[in-house]
Amino acid sequence: MTNARKTALHTVVNREIIHPQLAGAKVSDYYASNVFNDAAMREYLSDEAYKAVKTAMKTGTKISREIADAVAAGMKNWAISKGAISYTHWFQPLTGLTAEKHDMFFTPKGDGAIEVFSGDALVQQEPDASSFPSGGIRATFEARGYTAWDPGSPAFIMEIGDGKTLCIPTIFISYTGESLDYKAPLLKSSHLLEEAALPVVHLFDKDATRVTATLGWEQEYFLVDEALYNLRPDLMFAGRTLVGAAPQKGQQFEDHYFGSIPERVYAFMLDLETECHKLGIPIRTRHNEVAPAQFECAPMFEEVNVAVDHNQLLMDLMDRVARRHKLRVLLHEKPFAGINGSGKHNNWSLSTDTGKNLLSPGKTPKNNLLFLTFFVNVIKAVSEYADLLRASIASANNDHRLGANEAPPAIISVFIGSFMKDVLDEIEKRVAKGKYDELTNATLKLDIHKKIPDVLLDNTDRNRTSPFAFTGNKFEFRAVGSSANCALPMTIMNAIVARQLMHFKAEVDKLMKDGESKDGAIMRVIRQYITESKNILFEGDGYSEAWEKEAKKRGLSNVKTTPYALDFYTTRKAKEVLVDTGIFSQRELEARVEVYHHHYILKIDTEARIIADLALNQVIPAAIEYMNKLIANVRGLKEAGISAATVKAQKDLLAQINGHINAIKDNVDKMNAVREKAPHDSSASTSKYYCDKVKPYFNEIRTHVDALETLIDDNLWPLPKYREMLFIR
């Protein structure tokens, strides 16, 4: 029998590069050609319908039945002109994936058929909600769920081979109106943020009528050959390797980062980019990442709702395009032990319809006060609600990154760079208590408007160890996991900043009422915030043990695992920011936390089953086969008259291998026993049970499996090895 792994390796070595078909000579020829964008709407909608959609996009106003019919007709005609024969509401349930349920446009009529698409079908659909996670909402209420059109994100056509489907971005809610997805809370948080930010912007700029959060994500991922992937049940079902010895050549040489892109991967990237560009996803950068076989792509930033949809769409496309190239994309946060994991930096800022980036230092003192106001309020928000940000990125996958001596630590801190640190220190010093009149002067004397713009952009040191960093004109939340839906961390980000800005405005108003000048009041509150949020600022090495100690002294949380981080959602502060503001009802929030615990439990339980299966059905049999070879060899040597003393190597190997086999079997048995005793619910205590009682066996078992991998005949080892998955292209 030939070893399946060896056959797969042979396949990999002989792979031909599949060069993609480009959609045109230059990107602008086909960019957004599959999007029902402004140009398409102008062409396919009446003036009245066009205006109504535009207003709805801006203000969230309701669209009348007649207008919805008109929009649906226009959208259908556009989609059919592109070759679409079906449509679907496209939504983001709490599974973390996107979901769709396709319907055909045609309806039989007379002998034949006609294509129809009504306003009703555009605005609302009723997929069966009962198979999506709801955290008990569906148990107590109706199983029915609704998807409702989100005019803020443009409809698009998904092409799969020759099949084309019109996809309508929607939110997903229960029969009783509770949100069952990631998008509805995000939209609410954006609305809240706008309401909170506008009055603050108006202190400086009376013309602004809109404030939107912007998001530019950076997506990291690994690629593995399909033939090898298919021999790894752990990659297939858990998304990460649960066993595997470290390769002789890891990332310690650091020669992969920004290195030349392998041709096969380049072909995949081109193909992916073409698909993205047709869908109006503004992907612009691509490069190798730190780990071998790890890569990154990033778009131009967009309004947060659209950016979130585009990232979800991208992850879906990546998977599909990779398969065309006989590759598999790994979006897991930590597919391989011992080398870097993958994140998804969320670059976040705020911009106005008057064209201002509120986190971009201006060229005048007045603009700088605006900048400082938002800059300091974000820091204060993170300082107040760091625990919520931590909770927003909690997942079983991300636990392998956060606090595991790489990527950002589990401690949330803010990096602002030495220049801005000095500016804040200066403000704190100069804006002394009580001397109201001098406040404005004090800012002017700082002269920061002369220095900030130039110095900052090239001076915000790239401290890669910080989970949350100011990078010149935006904040970068780096602790987000690569497989996460950005909507959740962005919802929390929007919410905490909104809450903070409301406090700020109230405090400034109060000082002004007491006779303080506007600038004076702003500076005084800013100064107070600087003092109050100093604890969250950290410029040093976030991976160091010294920082863990220091953070503890400062009272910053350092929660390394998901079940415990989720507890932050049940605190008074969480309620204040998430429930009192109307983003979630108490019930929705509780339901969500239950869903997240459930995910965690499922994940650990699945991994436990896979690791047991790998150990008992693949690893131990291979080890025994090798032992039998050794035994036969020892026996043969004896028959040949070779003295027992000279078969020491074989005997040592036998003893070593046998020791590992026993340890594996013993630990698998113990793990199974513990797992079988786990309660069958989705409570916090059950997820903690899995975390504390089941998960620790993974490393125990793995240590012995990995030791066996280094001892056993390479021809007998069944699982593709790290060096093969990471280095063969």
Query: DSSP assignment, residue 578?
Result: I
Q: Which partner in ligand ADP, Mg ion, none is near 97 (CB below 5 to 8 A by kind)? A: none
347 binds ligand ADP (CB under 6 A): yes
* Smaller CB separation from ligand ADP, 219 or 667: 219
Q: Can you tell me the distance from the alpha carbon of 197 to that of 17, in angstroms, rounded to the nearest whole number?
A: 51
Asked if residues 180 and 129 have their Cβ atoms less than 8 Å apart, the reply is: yes
**Binders in 215-234 for ligand ADP, by CB under 6 A:** 215-216, 218
Size of the site for ligand ADP (CB under 6 A): 16
Instruction: Report the alpha-carbon distance of residue 199 to residue 209 in Å, rounded.
Output: 10
In 3D space, the residue among 117, 355, 247, 203 whose CA is nearest the CA of residue 727 turns out to be 247
Q: How far apart are CA 725 and CA 729, in angstroms?
A: 8
Q: Which of 345, 390, 474, 721 binds Mg ion (CB under 5 A)?
A: 345
Q: Is the CB of 71 or the CB of 298 nearer to ligand ADP?
A: 298
Q: What whole-number distance in Å separates Cα of residue 462 and Cα of residue 473?
A: 14
Least distance from ligand ADP to the Cβ atom of residue 359, Å:
7
Please give the residues from 507 up to 546 whose contact with ligand ADP meets the rule CB under 6 A.
none
Q: Supply the minimum distance, in Å, between the C-beta of residue 298 and Mg ion.
A: 8
Q: How far is the CB of 158 from Mg ion (least distance, A)?
A: 29
Q: Which is nearer to ligand ADP, 402 or 493 (CB)?
A: 493
Please report which helix (H) or strand (E) contains residue 149, including its range.
Answer: strand 145-149
Interaction between residue 473 and ligand ADP (CB under 6 A): yes
**Contact assessment for residue 54 and residue 110, using Cβ atoms and an 8 Å cutoff:** no
357 binds ligand ADP (CB under 6 A): yes
Identity of the residue, 287 or 670, whose beta carbon is nearer to ligand ADP in the bound complex: 287
What are all long-range contacts of 705-708, with beta carbons under 8 Å and residues at least 24 apart?
705/243, 705/614, 705/615, 705/619, 705/660, 705/664, 706/243, 706/244, 706/245, 706/246, 707/245, 707/656, 707/660, 708/619, 708/622, 708/623, 708/657, 708/660, 708/661, 708/664
Q: How far apart are the first and last CA of the chain?
A: 26
Please state the closest distance from residue 222 (CB atom) to Mg ion, in A: 18
The answer to the question of residue 631 lying near ligand ADP (CB under 6 A) is no
- Residue 157: CB atoms within 10 A of its CB come to 20
> Does position 7 bind ligand ADP by CB under 6 A?
no
Torsion angle of the four alpha carbons 464, 468, 472, 474, in this order, in degrees rounded to the nearest 10: 130
Q: Is 292 in the site for ligand ADP (CB under 6 A)?
A: no
Q: Does 285 bind ligand ADP (CB under 6 A)?
A: yes
Tell me if residue 106 falls in helix, strand or coil: strand
- Measured at the CA of 687, the angle between CA 413 and CA 703, to 5 degrees, comes to 80
Half-sphere exposure of 644 toward its Cβ, with a 13 Å CA cutoff? 0
Contact string 157-196 vs ligand ADP (x = CB under 6 A):
----------------------------------------
Q: Which of 301, 336, 415, 547 binds ligand ADP (CB under 6 A)?
A: 301
Task: Establish if 413 lies at the interface with ligand ADP (CB under 6 A).
Answer: no
Contact string 203-222 vs Mg ion (x = CB under 5 A): ---------------x----
Q: Nearest distance from residue 477's CB to ligand ADP, in Å?
A: 11
Site for ligand ADP in 601-630 (CB under 6 A): none
3-state class percentages of the chain: helix first, strand second, coil last, to nearest 5: 55, 15, 30
Least distance (Å) between residue 345 CB and ligand ADP: 6
Q: Contacting ligand ADP (CB under 6 A), which of 334, 474, 597, 599? A: 474
Q: How far is the CB of 378 from ligand ADP (least distance, A)?
A: 12
Q: Find which of ligand ADP, Mg ion, none residue 133 binds, CB within 5 to 8 Å per kind.
A: none
Report the interhelical angle of 417-430 vs 365-392 (nearest 10°). Answer: 110
86-91 and 163-174 strand pairing: parallel
Name the residue whose CB lies closest to Mg ion.
345
Residues between 93 and 112 with contacts to ligand ADP, criterion CB under 6 A: none
Choice from 97, 104, 139, 300 touching ligand ADP (CB under 6 A) = 300
| Sign, CA torsion 478/484/486/491 | negative
Residues that bind ligand ADP (CB under 6 A): 214-216, 218, 285, 298-301, 345, 347-349, 357, 473-474
Residues that bind Mg ion (CB under 5 A): 218, 345
